[in-house]
C-alpha cells in the first residue's frame, strides 16, 4: 500500500509475505521405526523438520533422493508429491492412511514402522493466497533443504520451531492463531538460510532482491505502487541507463519492470477486494484513474472481473 517515501524503503520479501495471508498447520509429530515410508500427494507447500534420526526424501519427477538428518528442515515450496522414508521403502503408507491411524489418546502423534522409533519428525503445511504465491515461491527449487548444525536447526530457526511446536501442543486460548503466525517465520528463515547458502547464484525474484540496483528498484515499486512509474524513472532512481536497467531487470525477475508492476498492483488490488473494499477504492489505491482500465487489467491477470472476484471472495469468506 502507499507509504511515506521518506521512510526507509520496504523489504519486498516482507511486503509480499504481509499480503499473502500466510498461515500453516502442523500435521503432528511422527515417530518412525524400522523400514518405513510415508507418501504425500501433490498439494500445498509442505515442510518437515527432522528432530532425531535420518530420513530419505524422494520427490516425484526429481532424480535421486535427498537425505536429511537431525536438525534439518525440508521445504517443498511447490507442494510436489513426495515420499519420506528409511530402509527398503516397502512399508509405505499414504498421508491419509496415517492421519486415520493417529495414536490413541494423543492425536498429535503418528507412528509408522515396527519396533522402537529411531526417527522423529514434525510435518506441516503452508497455506498462501494463490494470487501472490508464484511471486514468492516461483524461483525456489522443488525441494529446499536447510541443513542444521550439530544435530540442531540453525539458531534462529530452532527458536521459532520450538515455540511453534509448543503452541501446536497447547490448548491454551489463542494457540491456533499463534502457531499459524509462527509459520511466517519458519518460511522466512528457511528462505533466508537457503539464499545465504546459494550465494550469488540465485535467479528469479528472490535473487533479484539481492542485486543492488534491481533490489532497489523493487523496493521503490513496493513502496509506492500507485505512482505512474516509467522504466526511465526507475532506471534513473537506481543510477542506471534505461536499456541496461530494463535488460537486467527482465533477466533477473523474469519479466519487464512495468509488467511486474502491473502484476503486483493486481495482487494488491485483489487483497483490497477480498477485504471488502469497493472496485473504485481498489482501483485508486493501485494508481488507476480509470476504473474501466483497471477492470480490464484485473480480469486479464486474475481471470475474473473485479466485481465478480469481490463477490466470489465475499461468498467464500461467509461459508
- Taking the C-alpha atoms of residue 66 and residue 50, their distance in angstroms, rounded to an integer, is 13
Segment 75-119, tens digit of pLDDT: 998 999 999 999 875 678 898 888 887 765 566 788 888 888 789
List, by residue range, all CATH 1.10.10.60 domains of the chain: 211-318
Q: Is the pLDDT of residue 39 over 50?
A: yes
**Residue 142 burial (C-beta neighbours within 10 Å; 0-12, 13-18, 19+):** middle
All three cell numbers of 257: 519492470
- Taking the C-alpha atoms of residue 264 and residue 258, their distance in angstroms, rounded to an integer, is 10
Q: Measured at the alpha carbon of residue 11, what is the angle toward residues 147 and 275, in degrees to the nearest 5?
A: 105
List, by residue range, all CATH 2.60.120.280 domains of the chain: 15-201
Supply the pTM of this predicted model. Answer: 0.75
For residue 60, the model assigns a pLDDT of: 92
For residue 131, the model assigns a pLDDT of: 62
- Taking the C-alpha atoms of residue 283 and residue 277, their distance in angstroms, rounded to an integer, is 10
- Taking the C-alpha atoms of residue 162 and residue 263, their distance in angstroms, rounded to an integer, is 37
139: confidence class by pLDDT, cuts 50, 70, 90:
confident
Q: Give rounded-to-5 percent helix, strand, coil for the chain.
A: 45, 20, 35
DSSP secondary structure code for residue 280 in this structure: H
For residues 137 and 54, the answer to whether their CB atoms sit within 8 Å is: no
All three cell numbers of 42: 501433490
**Helix, strand, or coil here: 39?**
strand
The CA-atom distances, in angstroms, between 48 and each of 84, 122, 153, 248 are: 9, 6, 12, 36
Task: Choose between 109 and 260: higher pLDDT.
Answer: 260
For residue 292, the model assigns a pLDDT of: 96
5: confidence class by pLDDT, cuts 50, 70, 90:
very low
What does DSSP say about strands 92-94 and 144-146: parallel, antiparallel, or unpaired? unpaired
Mean pLDDT of 155-165: 76
- Taking the C-alpha atoms of residue 319 and residue 315, their distance in angstroms, rounded to an integer, is 7
For residue 319, the model assigns a pLDDT of: 45
297: confidence class by pLDDT, cuts 50, 70, 90:
very high
76 pairs with which residues across the strands? 46
Mean pLDDT of 260-267: 93
- Of the listed ranges 51-55, 121-125, 131-135, the least confidently predicted one is 131-135
All three cell numbers of 15: 511486503
Mean pLDDT of 249-268: 92
All three cell numbers of 190: 528457511
182: confidence class by pLDDT, cuts 50, 70, 90:
confident
**Direct distance between the N- and C-terminal alpha carbons of the chain, in angstroms, rounded to an integer:** 28
For the chain, give the percent of residues with pLDDT over 90: 36
Task: Choose between 188 and 319: higher pLDDT.
Answer: 188
**Residue 319 burial (C-beta neighbours within 10 Å; 0-12, 13-18, 19+):** exposed
Q: Is the pLDDT of residue 3 over 50?
A: no
CATH of domain 15-201: 2.60.120.280
Quick one: 211-318 is in which CATH superfamily?
Answer: Homeodomain-like (1.10.10.60)
Q: Is the pLDDT of residue 176 over 50?
A: yes
The CA-atom distances, in angstroms, between 148 and each of 56, 154, 166, 196, 202 are: 16, 5, 20, 14, 21
Amino acid at each position: 500500500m502507499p507509504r511515506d517515501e521518506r521512510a526507509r524503503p520496504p523489504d519486498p520479501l516482507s511486503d509480499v509475505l504481509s499480503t499473502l495471508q500466510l498461515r500453516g498447520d502442523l500435521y503432528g509429530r511422527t515417530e518412525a521405526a524400522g523400514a518405513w515410508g510415508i507418501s504425500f500427494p501433490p498439494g500445498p507447500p509442505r515442510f518437515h523438520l527432522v528432530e532425531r534420526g535420518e530420513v530419505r526424501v524422494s520427490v516425484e519427477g526429481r532424480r535421486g533422493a535427498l537425505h536429511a538428518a537431525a536438525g534439518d528442515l525440508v521445504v517443498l515450496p511447490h507442494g510436489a508429491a513426495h515420499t519420506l522414508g528409511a530402509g527398503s521403502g516397502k512399508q509405505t503408507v499414504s498421508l491419509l492412511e496415517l492421519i486415520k491411524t493417529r495414536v490413541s489418546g494423543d492425536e498429535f502423534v503418528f507412528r509408522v514402522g515396527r519396533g522402537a522409533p529411531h526417527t522423529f519428525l514434525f510435518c506441516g503445511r503452508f497455506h498462501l493466497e494463490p494470487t501472490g504465491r508464484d511471486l514468492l515461491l516461483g524461483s525456489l527449487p522443488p525441494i529446499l533443504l536447510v541443513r542444521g548444525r550439530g544435530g540442531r536447526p540453525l539458531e534462529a530457526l530452532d527458536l521459532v520451531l520450538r515455540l511453534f511446536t509448543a503452541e501446536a501442543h497447547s490448548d491454551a486460548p489463542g494457540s491456533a492463531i499463534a502457531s499459524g503466525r509462527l509459520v511466517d517465520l519458519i518460511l522466512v528463515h528457511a528462505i533466508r538460510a537457503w539464499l545465504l547458502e546459494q550465494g550469488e547464484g540465485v535467479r528469479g525474484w528472490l535473487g533479484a532482491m539481492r542485486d543492488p540496483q534491481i533490489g532497489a528498484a523493487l523496493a521503490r515499486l513496493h513502496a509506492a505502487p500507485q505512482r505512474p512509474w516509467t522504466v526511465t524513472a526507475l532506471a534513473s532512481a537506481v543510477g542506471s541507463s534505461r536499456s541496461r536497467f530494463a535488460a537486467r531487470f527482465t533477466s533477473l525477475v523474469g519479466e519487464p519492470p512495468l509488467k511486474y508492476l502491473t502484476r503486483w498492483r493486481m495482487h494488491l488490488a485483489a487483497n483490497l477486494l477480498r477485504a471488502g473494499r469497493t472496485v473504485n477504492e481498489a482501483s485508486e489505491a493501485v494508481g488507476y484513474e480509470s476504473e474501466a482500465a483497471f477492470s480490464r487489467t484485473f480480469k486479464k491477470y486474475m481471470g475474473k472481473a473485479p466485481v465478480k472476484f469481490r463477490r466470489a471472495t465475499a461468498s467464500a469468506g461467509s461459508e
